[in-house]
Chains A and B, each alone.
Chain A
Amino acid sequence: MPTAASPDAVLAALVVLPLAAALGTLVLPRLAPAVATAASWANLALVAFAFGTIGGETWLAGWSAPLGIGLRLDGLAWVFLAFSAPVFALAASAGRATLAEDGAATLWTTLIAGVNAIFLGADLFNLYVGLEVVSLSAAALTAVGAGAAAARAALRYLFVGLGGSLLYLMAVASIYRATGALDIGLVASMGLQGPALATPLALATAGLLLKGGVAPFHFWLPPAHGNAAPIVSAALSAVVVKTALYVLLRLWLDVAPQTALADAAPIFRALGLLAVVVGGVAALRALRLKALIAYSTVAQLGYMALALGFAAEAPGATVAFVAFAAAHALAKSGLFVAAGMIAKANGHDEVPRLTDPGTAYGPAKAALAISGGALAGLPPTGGFLAKWTLAQDAAAAGAWWVAPALVAAGLLTAAYMARLATAMMRDPPENAAADEGGPLRGWSALALASAALLLGFLGAPLAALVEAEP
């Protein structure tokens, strides 16, 4: 590795820096959007730097388990950090006006701190704290600068988040009761069995599926993601739902024995297929642009559940899970930012009446096209990489139906993305306005979408990072 940096400083900085920035936004309210944007970019630089400390762990302030706060960076954690950080950085640059709203900059930075704490969390209780920090920041961000509909969606989102977190916390309490341990590795080594294992697994899984918006627990997701400001929707769908699914993955891979995951696999497969169908059909029928994109998230989360359903039999399915998470995060955040611009230029967001906003919106339209392709899983995008990996591993595990199911799901995605392509072919109005938000937004959207495309070429390093996990 190129750097000899101590993991202590780097891992602690990944949590402390965004928290310090959150304080900064309170001390310097006028500079708050600039502080939040700078912190988002500094976070991206830190994540890139942290690549050199993969495999490291640190105990904050020298306190060890069980009272200390442990942070651990393995390849899996780094990949999740690495697709989240650019979303935060580019979305912050694209949404300076949103970050200037009262409180938004502070919430944006606490959101980053919570997300990083979850990805690095080494013990089950600190994961709970991270989940709550993320939930509260995200719910409050949903309501920023928006109307009554957004406030109601935010409240519902908060209740879902609270219920999910408390179900998870009950699971943590019962695990502690049975083992006297919270550290993930320590709990796993205790070899929990029978009801002492099944009860917490069921509670935590229910809570995390609820928070992760996996069908049939997705009812809250479209209103929350569809009413927030575009960059908030981007962060919610790209990163926030993934934090819950990340904890779910950790729980089933690192805490539960492999036999338990094999037993639960049919449930995850069924939920995954249900989500793909329910989300895809709703996206096809959605009237509003942001509702269409939000239902598309429901469908894409289904792929992750489906991949988890094969992780016990085929280790490569974990790679597919991560690839789906990363490809969706980059493509969907680009899509939300671009869609926000196109809706604003049109003055409404009803899909059947949308038109091409004009030549000033070139980068946004390109972002729309590329992210649509990535979501549908067209080669050579990251979405294709994920589907290809999953189809191969499922076939190796004897499930031949997965490949045709993924192709059919891709066609469904292409069908609803075609509604946007059709809209972009309608002639722009006579007096097509220039882009008022400045060129930065369009290019940010395009950068995110391009990253989703680029991911398609990174299959081998991605697999190496994820499978290196002990």
Chain B
Amino acid sequence: MSPVDLLYTAVAVALFGLGLGALALSARPLKKLLGANVMGTGVFSLLIVTARGPDGATDPVPHALVITGIVVTVAATGLGLALIRRTRSASKD
């Protein structure tokens, strides 16, 4: 593994860990939701490093996975925000 690959991998794993920490430990819903997004970014970064082949050729499969993953994350974030808004409007009643 080249030093650049190693750096990217380390950053990807760190992002995943930081996001997981925020999702599990934060008390605030919005922070949890952002934590899940950071976690996802970590996984996607790891997949993108994986796509880089040893001879500079790129493997298209991880890119397809990342695009699908981003779509899923957008949907999940939208649902999360809608639910957060509902709990807030409900607690005002």
Query: Which residues, 61 to 83 on A, are CB-close (under 8 Å) to B?
Result: 66-67
- Residue pairs across A and B with CB atoms within 8 Å: the count is 90
Chain B, interface size category, equals: 35 or more
Most A CB contacts (10 A, CB to CB) among B36, B65, B68 go to: B65
Known: A67-B60, A170-B46. 15 other contacts (CB 8 A): A125-B68, A139-B79, A140-B79, A151-B86, A159-B32, A162-B76, A163-B24, A166-B20, A166-B39, A169-B69, A173-B62, A173-B65, A176-B47, A177-B46, A177-B50
Query: Which residues, 26 to 54 on B, are CB-close (under 8 Å) to A?
Result: 29, 32-33, 36, 39-40, 42-43, 46-47, 50
Helix, strand, loop or mixed for chain A's interface? Answer: helix
A182 to B88, CA, bound (A): 41
CB pair B61–A66 under 8 Å, yes or no, is: yes
A-B contacts, 9 of them at CB < 8 A, read A67-B60, A125-B65, A135-B76, A147-B90, A155-B87, A166-B20, A170-B43, A174-B46, A176-B50
CB pair A129–B32 under 8 Å, yes or no, is: no
- Set of chain A residues within 8 Å of B60, measured between Cβ atoms: 67
Query: Which residues, 166 to 213 on A, are CB-close (under 8 Å) to B?
Result: 166-167, 169-170, 172-174, 176-177, 180, 182
A60 to B72, CA, bound (A): 20
A182 to B47, CA, bound (A): 13
- Set of chain A residues within 8 Å of B29, measured between Cβ atoms: 155, 159
CB pair B80–A155 under 8 Å, yes or no, is: yes
| Interface size, chain A (Cβ < 8 Å) | 32
- Set of chain A residues within 8 Å of B42, measured between Cβ atoms: 170
- A173 touches which one: B46, B75, B79, B87 (CB < 8 A)? B46
- Set of chain A residues within 8 Å of B20, measured between Cβ atoms: 163, 166-167
- Set of chain B residues within 8 Å of A182, measured between Cβ atoms: 61
CB pair B16–A151 under 8 Å, yes or no, is: no
CB distance from A171 to the nearest CB of B (A): 10
- Set of chain B residues within 8 Å of A354, measured between Cβ atoms: none
Q: Is B2 an interface residue (CB 8 A)?
A: no
- Set of chain B residues within 8 Å of A125, measured between Cβ atoms: 65, 68
A67 to B20, CA, bound (A): 29
